[in-house]
């Protein structure tokens, strides 16, 4: 530590702008008929994802034995709890939530960050995309978002169809664009190669001038989105990009509990193959979906990155006062 470690890393002018943006986002949702909720940061459940690692917390009821107790997690997003509210009858809800993800640090990442997340019953993919576009336009004032499919992006920028291309060809495209493929990638890691090409060769060009919303990701990247009933090769998932940054990730939500259970098993197998511990496959969200989750669309937007885009910041440290190294 040094004598100046008490100082915020963010200029006060940026923090004031952050406050204004927070209020603008809140007013946007209130005017749309949403109501604000709060859900736990600490939960026995957590999103089961191959690449998202929650912060584990031992919940001890005995102060003399703080390392003995129940396994809980700081949430990577409020998704599970908010969907439980939707299953209980909440029609249109949003919240500002602190989220936590291990091993995430850099110009766009901090272990602790802020999400704006929302769900509305009755919305489908098109309605979810439109709401996200309207929000971005209201806050950033850069016009309505350009809308493009994942397939169109790859065909336009790289000349390949991401739904049918072979892994060998993807590796060749990486070579042509001087993109190093990590040694950890297996020969059959098709999604890893697609994600690498998207982030390195395509993403820097997205959202320049006006926001871009990309939709219809491959079914293998569905996460918690349902598959398109007209083309099950793709998922009803969408993402917002501004100035080359991914700002938001949304779904026409998966409703089938058995499919969620199967995806949880697959993700835990993938985690263990990477040397990571499995996460709880059984959850109260699973029980809520078995009871009945209504058709809905949901989305999570990184507030920190939204502020970065608004003020022209190049590092998340410029829009949060005390990143983890100074917290």
pLDDT value at residue 299: 99
Q: How confident is the model at residue 2 (pLDDT cuts 50, 70, 90)?
A: low
Q: Does 154 score more than 80 pLDDT?
A: yes
Q: Does 1 score more than 60 pLDDT?
A: no
pLDDT tens track for 229-276: 999 999 999 999 999 999 999 999 999 999 999 999 999 999 999 999
pLDDT tens track for 30-60: 999 999 999 999 999 999 999 999 999 999 9
Main-chain phi, psi angles of 70, to 5 degrees = -85, 145
> Domains in the chain and their CATH numbers?
12-145+210-318 (3.30.930.10)
Please tell me the pTM assigned to this model: 0.95
Residue 15 buriedness (CB in 10 A; 0-12 / 13-18 / 19+): middle
Nearest Cα neighbor of 113 from 84, 73, 78 is 78
Length of the chain: 327
pLDDT value at residue 244: 97
Residue 261 zone, left/alpha/beta (φ > 0; ψ -120 to 50; rest): alpha
Nearest Cα neighbor of 296 from 250, 233, 246 is 250
Q: Which two structure tokens, joined as six digits, stand for 307?
A: 């502020």
Rounded to an integer, what distance in angstroms lies between the CA atom of residue 150 and that of residue 234? Answer: 9
β-strand pairing of 234-242 with 245-252: antiparallel
Q: Can you say how many angstroms the Cα of residue 294 is from the centroid of all Cα atoms in its chain?
A: 21
């Amino acid at each position: 530590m040094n004598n100046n470690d008490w100082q915020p890393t963010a200029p006060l002018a940026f923090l004031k702008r952050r406050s204004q943006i927070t209020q603008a986002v809140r007013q946007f949702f209130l005017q749309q008929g949403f109501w604000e909720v709060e859900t736990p940061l600490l939960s026995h459940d957590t999103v089961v994802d191959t690449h998202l690692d929650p912060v584990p917390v031992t919940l001890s009821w005995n102060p003399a034995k703080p390392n003995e107790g129940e396994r809980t997690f700081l949430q990577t997003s409020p998704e599970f709890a908010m969907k439980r509210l939707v299953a209980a009858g909440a029609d249109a809800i949003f919240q500002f939530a602190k989220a936590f993800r291990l091993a995430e640090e850099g110009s766009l990442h901090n272990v602790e960050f802020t999400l704006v997340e929302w769900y509305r019953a009755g919305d489908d993919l098109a309605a979810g995309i439109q709401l996200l576009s309207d929000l971005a336009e209201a806050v950033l004032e850069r016009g309505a978002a350009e809308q493009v499919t994942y397939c169109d992006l790859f065909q336009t920028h790289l000349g390949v169809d991401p739904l049918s291309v072979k892994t060998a060809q993807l590796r060749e495209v990486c070579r042509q664009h001087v993109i190093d493929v990590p040694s950890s990638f297996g020969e059959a890691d098709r999604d890893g190669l697609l994600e690498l090409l998207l982030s390195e060769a395509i993403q820097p060009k997205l959202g320049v001038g006006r926001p871009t919303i990309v939709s219809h990701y491959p079914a293998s990247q569905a996460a918690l989105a349902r598959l398109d009933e007209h083309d099950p090769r793709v998922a009803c998932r969408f993402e917002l990009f501004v100035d080359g940054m991914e700002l938001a990730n949304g779904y026409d939500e998966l409703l089938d509990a058995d499919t969620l259970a199967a995806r949880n098993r697959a993700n835990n197998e993938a985690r263990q193959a990477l040397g990571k511990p499995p996460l709880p496959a059984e959850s109260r969200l699973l029980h809520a979906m078995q009871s009945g989750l209504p058709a809905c669309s949901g989305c999570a937007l990184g507030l920190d990155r939204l502020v970065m885009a608004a003020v022209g910041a190049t590092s998340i440290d410029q829009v949060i006062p005390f990143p983890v190294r100074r917290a």
